[in-house]
Amino acid sequence: KNHIADVERFVSDNMEEIEQFRIKYLGKKGILNEFFAAFKDVPNETKKEYGQVINQLKTKAQEKVTLLKEAWENAQEENGIYGDLSRPGEPVTLGSRHPISIVKNRIIEVFSNIGFNVSEGPEIEDDWHNFSALNLPEYHPARDMQDTFFIQKNPEDILLRTHTSSVQVRYMDEHKPPIRTISPGRVFRNEAISARSHCIFHQVEGLYIDKNVSFADLKQTLLYFTKEMFGKSKIRLRPSYFPFTEPSAEIDIYWGLETETDYRITKGTGWLEIGGCGMVDPNVLKNCNIDPEEYSGFAFGMGIERIAMLLYQIGDIRMFYENDVRFLEQFKSIV
């Protein structure tokens, strides 16, 4: 018990003294081992108390040694002398870009190389910019093509944009041709969520307006894009309908069926629709105060998730929004 009092009283900021204290109590030939060795000779009726006391002494001695050593090390660090230089450094975990951002940045890079700039607009839109200006007057049946989330119905429709074509309307309001711009952004559609589609996704739309722009320019631009983006440029333009373009086409890329994921994403055909395109309808140009007699142009819109799924072999679109770090960590690019 006297020893316990001694241990409690002991203080030192000198490493050698601390070490001597440790050896004295906890060393091989130290006091504690002596006590433990003597245990068998202790009379039975005091064995219990004796055991408790030496265990207490042991714990106190160990705690004291740890405490003093730590204090000593901290003091060293404060003085700029590090106790143990081989200790591992503080871990710094590096975040990574989201795959959608990586692909979006790459798309911007590819188009900027041929003179397109980037334009942005609001996610909450009015009816004019999302529909009417794009040649979709009220009660036009084609409005049902895009299942819209409405925020307000009266006195005018306010909604979550269903495509970034709305940005193009805003851009034409403010800029005169020649126009070469792409508008990447988040869009919203009231659709059932599945492995292939989501109610929130990302689009990049392109707009090119100048004198004498033809469908051949559109096709060449898309061929250039797919070659740069995927390293292959086998595409198919399927005749289609959009109110804001005429003629219109759906853009399919031939990806092939090399992996099981290719098979799943392309539904076993090797082809995947990545967007729509066409020659800007004269009515849209008129709505934006551009003379269709003087100017013509093309527009296209593509889904960024679709492109990312092909490039990164992601079989389920929902993974982009779950924010599971085990998924996100796999994309190490920070550019």
18 within 8 A of 65, measured Cβ to Cβ: yes
Closest CB 329 distance from ligand PHE, rounded Å? 31
| Sheet (strand 200-210) strand order | 117-118, 179-188, 200-210, 296-303, 271-280, 245-254, 235-242
- For residues 168 and 118, give the distance between their C-alpha atoms in angstroms, rounded to a whole number: 11
Candidates 191, 256, 203; CA nearest to 230 is: 256
- Residue 319 Cβ, how far from ligand PHE at the closest point, in Å? 22
Query: Is 300 or 320 the residue whose CB approaches ligand PHE more closely?
Result: 300
Q: Which is nearer to ligand PHE, 173 or 260 (CB)?
A: 173
Q: What are 131's two structure tokens?
A: 């529909």
Q: Which is nearer to ligand PHE, 21 or 201 (CB)?
A: 201
Q: Which residues does the annotation place in the binding site for Mg(2+)?
A: 246
* Min CB(202)–ligand PHE separation in Å: 11
Residue with structure tokens 């992996």?
259
**Shortest CB 177 distance to ligand PHE, Å:** 17
Query: Which of these, 189, 227, 224, lies nearest to 206 by C-alpha position?
Result: 224
Q: Tell the smallest beta-carbon distance from residue 142 to ligand PHE (Å).
A: 11
For 66, 67, 176, the CA distances from 74, given in Å and listed in that order, are 12, 11, 67
User: What are the E-state strand segments in the chain?
Assistant: 117-118, 124-126, 150-152, 158-160, 179-188, 200-210, 235-242, 245-254, 271-280, 296-303
CA gap 114, 224 in Å, rounded: 9
CB of 277 to ligand PHE, least distance (A): 5
Q: Which is nearer to ligand PHE, 183 or 266 (CB)?
A: 183
Q: Which is nearer to ligand PHE, 64 or 121 (CB)?
A: 121
Q: Which is nearer to ligand PHE, 121 or 276 (CB)?
A: 276
Residue type present at position 119: S
Closest CA to 302 of 136, 96, 106: 106
Residues that bind ligand PHE (CB under 6 A): 163, 165, 205, 242, 245, 248, 275-278, 299-301
